[in-house]
Amino acid sequence: MKIIPKEKLIIRDSFKLAYRDGEIWCEELDALSIYTDIVAEKFLKDMETIRRPSSSAFISVNLTATLVQKDIAELIIDKLLNVDRHLIKVVFIGLDHTGKKLFTSLLKQGHCAFSYQFIDDLEKAKEWLIDVKF
């Protein structure tokens, strides 16, 4: 992973995306390199939106080019498992094999009620989240 100096990081805003006949919350935690403090701070701030009753039940979490260690994985999974409303599907983008194993283990331990996938292609991730048959 390429380490980017902290002062050169571009922290992208998370956003809601209208897609097909639904809406996806796009949690943008990508390209944050090794700076777990920034990842945690941004994710916790965005959780205020994710927790809202009017927010989408379909979430993509983009972690491409971000170091994901156990503490960050635990934070993300804990907060998603404890949302006060029903999440239907969550897709994790950009995790390596180790990250996928860690997230899977945490999701199983937490008795996850939503469907989840690990997909590296954003278009395929959106299609899986909003699976509308034409």
- Helix ranges (H only) for 1-134 are 36-50, 70-81, 97-109, 122-129
* Cα distance between residue 61 and residue 133, in whole Å: 24
Q: Which of 97, 106, 94 is nearest to 60 (CA)?
A: 94
- DSSP codes joined into one string, 63-95: -TTB---HHHHHHHHHHHHT-SS---EEEEES-
* Cα distance between residue 36 and residue 17, in whole Å: 26
Residues 16-48: pLDDT tens digits?
A: 999 988 999 999 999 999 999 999 999 999 999
pLDDT number for residue 3: 85
pLDDT-derived band of residue 90, with 50, 70 and 90 as boundaries?
Answer: very high
More confident residue, 1 or 132: 1
